[in-house]
Chains A and B, each alone.
Chain A
Amino acid sequence: MASETVLVIGGGPAGMEAARSVADLGYPVLLVERRDRLGGRPEEEHYAKLTHHFREAEDMIRELVEAVTTHSNVTVMTSSEVVGCEGEPGNFRVKIRNGASAEEVTVGSIIVATGFQHFDPGRETQMYNYYTFPDVITIADLEGMLKAHQVVRPSNGQPPERVAFIQCVGSRDRQIGNEFCSKVCCGIASKQAIEVKQQLPDSRVFIFYIDMRMYGYWENEIYWPAQEEYKVNYVKGIVSEILPKGDRLLIRGEDTTMGRPMEVTVDLVVLSVGMEPSEGTRKIAKILDIRQNKYGYIEAGGPTGVDPVATSRPGIFVAGAASGPADLDDTFATAGLAAARAVATVRRLQLAKAA
Chain B
Amino acid sequence: MDWVSTKPDKYADVPYEEKLRLFLEVKNDPRYEDFLYGCYECGICVSACPSARFYDFSPRVIAQAMAREDVDRFYEILVEDIWNCAQCFSCVRCPRQNNPGGLVTLIREVAVRNGLKEARDVLQGYSRVIYKVMLKGNQVSPDMLQPDFFPDWGPWVREFSENMDVWRRAIPVDTLRGVTDAAWRTDEKTLLELYTIWFETNNIDIIQEVDEGLYELLLDVMEEALEEVA
Contact = CB atoms under 8 A, between A and B. Distances in A.
B65 A258 contact: yes
Give the bracket for the number of chain A residues in contact with chain B: 10 to 19
Contact of A263 (B6, B39, B69): B6
Interface SS of chain B: helix, strand, loop or mixed? loop
A260 B37 contact: no
A257 interface: yes
Contacts of A263: 4-6
A257 B73 CA distance: 13
Given A257-B60, A258-B65, A258-B73, A224 B38 contact: yes
Nearest to B36: A228
Contacts of A264: 3-4
Interface in B13-71: 37-39, 41, 60-61, 64-65, 67-70
Q: Which of B5, B7, B65, B73 has the most CB of A within 10 A?
A: B5
B61 A258 contact: yes
A260 B6 contact: yes
A242 to B, nearest CB: 14
Interface string A234-258: 1110000000000000000001011
Contacts of A265: 4
Interface SS of chain A: helix, strand, loop or mixed? strand
Nearest to A206: B68
Q: Which of B4, B69, B96 has the most CB of A within 10 A?
A: B4
A106 to B, nearest CB: 56
Contact of A261 (B5, B61, B96): B5
A224 B60 CA distance: 17
A257 B64 contact: yes
A262 B6 contact: yes
A155 interface: no
8 closest residue pairs by CB, A with B: A227-B38, A261-B6, A257-B41, A263-B4, A228-B37, A228-B38, A260-B5, A260-B7
28 contacts: A223-B38, A224-B37, A224-B38, A227-B38, A227-B39, A228-B37, A228-B38, A233-B67, A233-B68, A233-B69, A234-B38, A236-B41, A255-B3, A257-B41, A257-B60, A258-B64, A258-B65, A258-B68, A258-B70, A260-B6, A260-B7, A261-B7, A262-B3, A262-B4, A262-B5, A262-B6, A263-B4, A264-B4
Interface of B: 3-7, 37-39, 41, 60-61, 64-65, 67-70, 73, 96
